């Protein structure tokens, strides 16, 4: 390869690297991806029931299974005498949870999660008997029943040893609940339709209102706070459904995210978004390691000296200080500059957390520091 060819290849590589470092243009997002219309949300349902058909891994406690067994028996006209413990190890008391989506109609099915409440060791192979699911208002919205699919496994031996894989005391029933009552969203009779952003932002909410007005006409949408856009709409569920469908597919350029640093202290994970900037600052990072080695020695007496064997402590203490040069951050340093500087001194994620906290305390970093 000639010298000119090498120069051209190096120039192209440099241009490619510069293009990779250039900020990416804003990507438009649909309004439906930024939030949701008020009232169109899921509702949590809970229930209490009993799982039968277990292979000796069920509930044998009086506290939980007795009431459930008596309730099941009473449905079939059976009366359990007082003082009799109906709890067997082939049944278990459980808590049932499900999410009821917006516009769910009677007859539709829901996926449910079944979790053991008492001392059951495993729900594998069990069948949930018919149980009602209630909402926050205490009304029954669905009925649950079916065979459990349990991903966990638990095996116990006679000597007390056991092997547990995943979680055998919880399982799911796909389509295990049937909706019995619909939830009125109330969007057809309200004076306006409200659209709520998933994350409050003054700039984004204003851009959403402008995009809706550009489509429907001036004054139809107003940003009433940093999260909500109120939209004037004609009454009637059909007209409002068509209007909402046309609004949610409009494209909007959301505002840049606020400068933020998220730290997970348990795993040592640090996430810094591209909006973080550093003011002029000089950082010096060092590490001091103190090592203590205990090497006890055995002192053996001479033969026929009437002495005793003794253990003599022997401690060795060493101090090691790793020298790291100071580095300087230029005005407006970006994420790439921070990462490059930290990697240059060989700092670990834990050390990076300490550096970021020090920069924030010194006022050199204007960003939200979130520690999980």
Span 31-50, pLDDT tens digits: 888 888 888 888 999 999 88
Render pLDDT for 267-282 as a digit per residue (tens, 0 to 9): 667 777 767 766 666 6
Are 264 and 349 members of one domain? yes
Q: How far is it, in rounded angstroms, from Cα 270 to Cα 359? A: 15
Describe the chain by its helix, strand, coil percentages, rounded to 5.
20, 35, 45
pTM over 0.75: no
Please report where in the chains the tokens 């203490």 appear, as a residue: 317
Render pLDDT for 111-130 as a digit per residue (tens, 0 to 9): 999 999 888 888 888 999 99
Return the closest-CA partner of residue 145 out of 226, 197, 75, 85: 75
Structure tokens at 211: 């995009």
Which of 197, 228, 252 is the last residue in one of the domains? 252
Q: Does 38 map to a domain?
A: no
Render pLDDT for 138-163 as a digit per residue (tens, 0 to 9): 999 999 999 999 886 666 655 556 66
Which of 252, 273, 299 is the last residue in one of the domains? 252
> Domain containing 208: what range?
186-252
What φ, ψ does residue 356 adopt, rounded to 5°? -65, -40
Are 175 and 190 members of one domain? no
Q: Give alpha helix (H) positions in the chain.
A: 3-21, 65-75, 202-216, 237-248, 335-344, 349-361
What φ, ψ does residue 92 adopt, rounded to 5°? -150, 140
Domains identified in the chain, total number: 3
């Amino acid at each position: 390869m000639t010298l000119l060819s090498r120069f051209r290849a190096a120039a192209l590589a440099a241009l490619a690297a510069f293009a990779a470092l250039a900020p990416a243009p804003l990507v438009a997002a649909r309004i439906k991806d930024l939030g949701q219309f008020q009232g169109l949300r899921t509702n949590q349902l809970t229930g209490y029931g009993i799982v039968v058909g277990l292979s000796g891994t069920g509930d044998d406690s009086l506290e939980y299974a007795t009431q459930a067994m008596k309730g099941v028996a009473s449905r079939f006209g059976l009366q359990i005498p007082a003082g009799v413990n109906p709890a067997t190890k082939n049944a278990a008391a459980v808590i049932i949870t499900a999410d009821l989506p917006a516009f769910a109609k009677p007859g539709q099915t829901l996926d449910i999660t079944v979790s053991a409440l008492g001392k059951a060791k495993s729900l594998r192979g069990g069948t949930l008997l018919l149980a009602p699911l209630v909402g926050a208002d205490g009304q029954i919205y669905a009925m649950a029943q079916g065979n459990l699919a349990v991903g966990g496994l638990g095996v116990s031996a006679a000597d007390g040893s056991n092997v547990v894989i995943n979680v055998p005391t919880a399982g799911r029933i796909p389509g295990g609940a049937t909706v019995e009552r619909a939830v009125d969203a109330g969007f057809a009779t309200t004076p306006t339709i409200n659209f709520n952003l998933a994350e409050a932002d003054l700039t984004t909410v204003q851009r959403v209102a402008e995009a809706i007005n550009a489509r429907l006409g001036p004054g139809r949408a107003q940003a009433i706070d940093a999260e909500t856009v109120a939209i004037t709409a004609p009454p009637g569920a059909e007209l409002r459904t068509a209007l909402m469908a046309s609004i949610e597919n409009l494209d909007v350029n959301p505002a840049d995210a606020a400068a933020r640093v998220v730290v997970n202290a348990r795993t040592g994970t640090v996430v810094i978004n591209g909006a973080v900037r550093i003011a002029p600052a000089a950082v010096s990072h060092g590490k001091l390691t103190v090592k203590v080695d205990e090497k006890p020695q055995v002192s053996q007496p001479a033969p026929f000296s009437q002495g005793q064997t003794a253990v003599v402590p022997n401690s060795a203490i060493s101090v090691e200080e790793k020298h790291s040069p100071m580095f300087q951050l230029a005005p407006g340093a970006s994420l790439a500059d921070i990462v490059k500087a930290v990697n240059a001194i060989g700092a670990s994620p834990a050390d990076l957390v300490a550096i970021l906290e020090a920069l924030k305390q010194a006022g050199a970093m204007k960003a939200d520091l979130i520690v999980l």
